[in-house]
Structure 1
Amino acid sequence: MLGFFSLLILFASVAVSIVWGGRDERLTAAAFVAATFLTWLLDSQYGDTQLDVLVVDVALLAGLVTLALTSDRFWPLYATAFQLIGTMVHVASMTETGDFAWAYAVGLIFWSYAVIASLMIGTWLEARWRRSNLS
């Protein structure tokens, strides 16, 4: 059920970004879709640190850092910060020796929703800015 909910949130953010977002929002939505499907292809098991998923998250982080440095919008800074925290969950899990599967999974999932929320808010602000400038 959680997988369905995650997929619904992802596609809703992509649809909102395509309809109301600008170039930055659309590029970020495409990157989220690519990262999500790559992560699912890698068969996520939270028993120990997922180095292959870490590579996907670092690649997404690099894209968000690039966007944050080149964009004239403010929301990519939040998305990048949340993605950095989510990536650090992987790093923190490397130092843990006990049973941490639940905390690892929750940490990754929670911060991924925060990144998507940043995109949704950024898209809303972009759409609002366009409407006010067209009037």
Structure 2
Amino acid sequence: MDRVWIFNALQLAATGYAFWRGGAPERLTGLALLLAALATRMFHQLGAGEFVDVEIGIMTVDIVLLGVMIAITLHADRFWPAWVTALHALGTGAHLARAINPDVIRLAYAVLSVMWSYPIVLLLAVGTMRHARRVRSRGWDLDWSRQDPTLP
């Protein structure tokens, strides 16, 4: 249970930092990660999280978060969201592995679906720090990629 409190504290700190110093991609990612953590916690309180079968509620949260992260990755003028998306896709893939093969060891399913959360939160904090550094040095930093190079 201590690891849950540690993760929650790290998640809140990274999200708070993203809202304080981050641009739009950092803020959206922080909000999405925080909402996903809260929804996952809600499913745990409803009895999910034993990892005996495919955790449908948690899998749904992970799939929605993956969609949000893909959208952020495609539009953000940053590279770090691609890493977050890739790591989260690995965690989401654990649900698929369990669905395809119910013989996947319960502990492996639990670890594979959860272990990516820590580096994802770290990437959010590092991405926010790098954004803040660019703003300090240049005075600005683009949030979103420009789709039309002729626009100012």
Task: Give me the whole-angstrom Cα distance separating, in 2, the residues matched to 1:114 and 1:129.
Answer: 22
Q: CA deviation at 1:21?
A: 0.7
Partners of 2:73 and 2:85 within 8 A in 1: yes
Matched residue of 1:46: which SS? coil
Amino acid at match of 2:58: V
Partners of 2:59 and 2:92 within 8 A in 1: yes
Percent of aligned positions that are identical: 31
Residue in structure 1 matched with residue 93 of structure 2 by the alignment: 88
Closer/same/farther in 2, CA of residues 103 and 26 from structure 1, 3 Å limit: same
Matched residue of 1:90: which SS? helix
Matched residue of 2:78: which SS? coil
Does 1:42 find its partner at 2:34?
no
Q: CA deviation at 1:99?
A: 6.5
TM-score (norm 2): 0.83
Unaligned runs of 5+ in 2: 140-152
TM-score (norm 1): 0.92
Residue in structure 2 matched with residue 74 of structure 1 by the alignment: 79
Amino acid at match of 1:101: R
Does 1:131 find its partner at 2:132?
no
Task: Give me the whole-angstrom Cα distance separating, in 1, the residues matched to 2:57 and 2:138.
Answer: 44
Residue in structure 1 matched with residue 13 of structure 2 by the alignment: 12
Amino acid at match of 1:20: R
Provide the aligned C-alpha RMSD in A. 1.6
Does 1:32 find its partner at 2:33?
yes
Q: CA deviation at 1:69?
A: 0.6
Say which one has the larger Rg: 2
Higher helix share: 1
